[in-house]
Amino acid sequence: MKGYLKRNSADDFKRAVNSSSNIVIVTHTNPDGDALGSVVALSSYLARQGKTTTIVIPNPYPKNLKFLDPRGDVLIHTRRRVAAERAIKFADLLIALDFNQLKRIDELEPIVRASASKKILVDHHPQPEMEAFDLVISNTEVSSTCELLFWLIREIEGGSVSSIPDISAQSLYVGMMTDTNNFSNSVEAGTFLMSYELLLHGVDKETLQLKVFAGFTEERMRLMGHSLLNKMKILPELGAGYIVLTKEELERYKFAEGDTEGFVNMPLNIFGITISALFTEKEEHIRVSLRSSDNFSVNQFSRRYFNGAGHERAAGGRLFMAVEDVGKYFEESLRKELEEN
């Protein structure tokens, strides 16, 4: 499946890895299954080749993904600042996975920028920050970074993943499974081929599915109920729906990182609703998630109004305003965006 990678990408990647001894692998803030899956998969794969690798992430991953990091090897910057920053400082190769702009790693951004190491990006978001990296392996026509990484590793391995470590195979599957919301969106033909080969490798898909999608707390289910019953606002004339969650509400339901994962997709289940948004109030900003199920570009919408970016049908962003004003701002921005397009 050479079409997934540009010519020489795999060779360039391999050469960079072979000439490095201290490899640091980073991913984006609020890591999801694809983010954590890809860094764990690559790290285990390179460790098998005898490389020293360290995973550094900006902030904690959701609890249901803990099984990908059973020994707690992943360095979380907000918890172990000194160790995380030292790892980056002494790296001779930095590999960034599952994000397109260095601003997506927040406080790690200046540290990564200042690092003299070689830098590689492997990602599936549009418009990668080319000038920040020595090598960019980017493709938006895949389900996930884990899928792109699968094609990369497979190419390096001469067309088969049969000998990659079990943990790499599992992690690649988890990333694909979470980014496609269990095969319901952004599934490409190659995604099935990848799944096929990983199942042949021995990946236990039922167990992984249970771990990822059935590991929630009671409070998280109650928060979901509250969001749907009391907070979801539907705008039939715009084909849109949105949910705004305040800090007080999140605290009431003992919010833990990852709990609102997937909430943004819920309005899209309503007939005629093709644009949806989820706003969650954080300490210093409002976190924005945007989705679309037709040709409306939430990537462009986020760039224009929500200080963010992403894919055409899934994007994120940030707002700096009072939480009470968010609904009105969203409705006005959407009206403008729809009129202009």
In the complex, the residues that contact Mn ion under the rule CB under 5 A are 34, 98, 144-145, 179
**150: its two tokens:** 């699968």
Q: Supply the minimum distance, in Å, between the C-beta of residue 161 and Mn ion.
A: 19
**278: its two tokens:** 């989820």
The answer to whether 288 touches 279, Cβ cutoff 8 Å, is yes
Q: Supply the minimum distance, in Å, between the C-beta of residue 15 and Mn ion.
A: 26
Compute the residue count for the chain: 341
Instruction: Give the residue with the Cβ less far from Mn ion, 53 or 144.
Output: 144
Q: Supply the minimum distance, in Å, between the C-beta of residue 233 and Mn ion.
A: 28
Q: Supply the minimum distance, in Å, between the C-beta of residue 239 and Mn ion.
A: 26
Helix (H, G, I), strand (E, B) or coil at 81: helix
Q: Supply the minimum distance, in Å, between the C-beta of residue 38 and Mn ion.
A: 8
Instruction: Give the residue with the Cβ less far from Mn ion, 144 or 297.
Output: 144
Q: Give residue 148's Cα distance to chain centre.
A: 13
Q: Residue 260: how many CB atoms within 10 A of its CB?
A: 21
- Measured between alpha carbons, how far is residue 267 from residues 227, 235, 263, 276, 291 in Å? 11, 10, 8, 6, 10
Instruction: Give the residue with the Cβ less far from Mn ion, 23 or 148.
Output: 148
Instruction: Give the residue with the Cβ less far from Mn ion, 179 or 259.
Output: 179
The answer to whether 100 touches 126, Cβ cutoff 8 Å, is yes
For the packed helices 189-201 and 145-156, what is the interaxial angle rounded to 10 degrees? 60
Instruction: Give the residue with the Cβ less far from Mn ion, 69 or 179.
Output: 179
Q: Supply the minimum distance, in Å, between the C-beta of residue 313 and Mn ion.
A: 13
Instruction: Give the residue with the Cβ less far from Mn ion, 144 or 260.
Output: 144
- Count Cα neighbours of 160 within 13 Å in the Cβ-side half-sphere: 4
Instruction: Give the residue with the Cβ less far from Mn ion, 314 or 326.
Output: 314
For the packed helices 145-156 and 33-48, what is the interaxial angle rounded to 10 degrees? 20
Helix (H, G, I), strand (E, B) or coil at 201: helix
Distance CA 283, CA 269 (A): 30
Instruction: Give the residue with the Cβ less far from Mn ion, 155 or 179.
Output: 179
Q: Which residue minimizes CB distance to Mn ion?
A: 34
Residue with tokens 């095969």: 183
Can you give the C-alpha Rg of the chain in angstroms? 20
Q: From the DSSP assignment, how many helices (H) and strands (E) are in the chain?
A: 12, 12
Amino acid identity at 329: Y
Q: Supply the minimum distance, in Å, between the C-beta of residue 200 and Mn ion.
A: 24
Q: Supply the minimum distance, in Å, between the C-beta of residue 30 and Mn ion.
A: 12
